[in-house]
A and B are shown apart, each in its own frame.
Chain A
């Protein structure tokens, strides 16, 4: 079935099997492998992408449900070769260890900052409550989001 949607600002048009999830379409059809699959059932948040402005688990949405919508993945954060300030803050604060949760953490945090440019710590923790970090580096992740919020610089 024909799926037409926008991914990281680029209009995409492809024929997809209705059984494919959004994560399958992104990774296997569009080669956007930055989005990770951890648990496949909405527990870990590694597959988080921004769909129509909201953070969702790409493993729980069918590809066809993105019809006509705008999707932003981790590959869509950097602009013109410049990292998003949020990505830079993750590096600066040492908020990345093994890296597997990082794309999901970044997309959950990005969705939060788009809605609340100056979130409280409680809001940050709530926004990433559905993202598991097995290296347990949560403090630094929270710090990184706070840092970018303080700098007041986040790509729209």
Chain B
């Protein structure tokens, strides 16, 4: 018999009360696809588990004013199938549909992926490209917003405090003309956290009147310990007209970015090829109607 204590708050107020009592050894439980493995691997027999999955009101996706809100209990399956996500932020739906297996997607949720801060965390790069923030509840019952990029600070490291829980992920409402795509090279449909060897999220603003790209986000995942913006690639796209040649220039710029981030490590050299293929693929899909 373990000494674990299990709490299942039913409301945000009850969750805050649980968080107020958080001690070292208090852990937040979502879909369980990471934490249940960790409990066993590390032989954890003590402490408190706060199960977030029973908190009411955190299971919806909504468009409110200038932002899209995704509740903490929305699973990857629900995210990948949601019409609002598929139409307005296709890169997020594509990312969600490629996480793990269906069984994993039916359980796992975004907050756990962010809080675990795995270098292979599929969602983090995509959320950064979308300028996403998380809504955090603390033990005093107060809510605050923090950019995803300011939450994840290293491998397994975040700025989340012991008494803080993620209630929702918020995205700015996509601008008219915004297009986005996500792709990864690496293990296919099955894997515990899907170890992407490398992922790319492209979000661009396309002005159809001028025929020009007016803004670009290109975020690389699993190319370095932290996901990062490929600034040279983003600069390259701005002010340009989509063309097959531009796609090739993008692939080359991203290859150079990855060359720097892998620091000559031989076992990562394959990423140089992978990123070029990914870039060409995503770019051609992004502008399929124009190329």
Which residues of A does B touch, CB under 8 Å? 1, 17-19, 21, 40-43, 45, 48, 54-57, 59-62, 64-65, 67, 108, 126-127, 129-132
Contact = CB atoms under 8 A, between A and B. Distances in A.
Contacts of A21: 36
A129 B1 contact: no
B102 A127 contact: yes
Contacts of B2: 17-19
B100 A59 contact: no
Nearest to A132: B190
A60 B106 CA distance: 11
Contacts of A55: 102-103, 106
Contact of B190 (A19, A61, A62, A129): A129
Given A42-B37, A129-B190, A132-B190, A57 B103 contact: yes
A60 B53 contact: no
Given A1-B6, A42-B103, A60 B36 contact: yes
Interface residues of B, number: 32
Interface in B232-258: none
A10 B224 CA distance: 50
Nearest to A20: B2
A13 B188 CA distance: 39
What's the dominant secondary structure at chain A's contact region?
loop
B145 interface: no
A62 B38 CA distance: 12
Contacts of A65: 29, 32, 51, 53
A132 B6 CA distance: 32
A61 B75 CA distance: 14
Contacts of A45: 101, 103, 190
In the complex, which of the residues B29, B36, B39, B188 has the most CB atoms of chain A within 10 Å of its own CB atom? B36
Contacts of A60: 31-33, 36-37, 103-104, 107
Contact of A19 (B4, B33, B53, B77): B4
A40 B191 CA distance: 12
Nearest to A64: B6
Contacts of B40: 40
Nearest to B78: A54
Given A126-B102, A130-B190, A42 B77 contact: no
Given A17-B2, A19-B4, A41-B192, A129 B33 contact: no
Contacts of A130: 100-104, 189-190
Interface string B2-16: 101110100000000
Nearest to B29: A62
A43 B187 CA distance: 12
Nearest to B6: A18
B89 interface: no
A108 B106 CA distance: 12
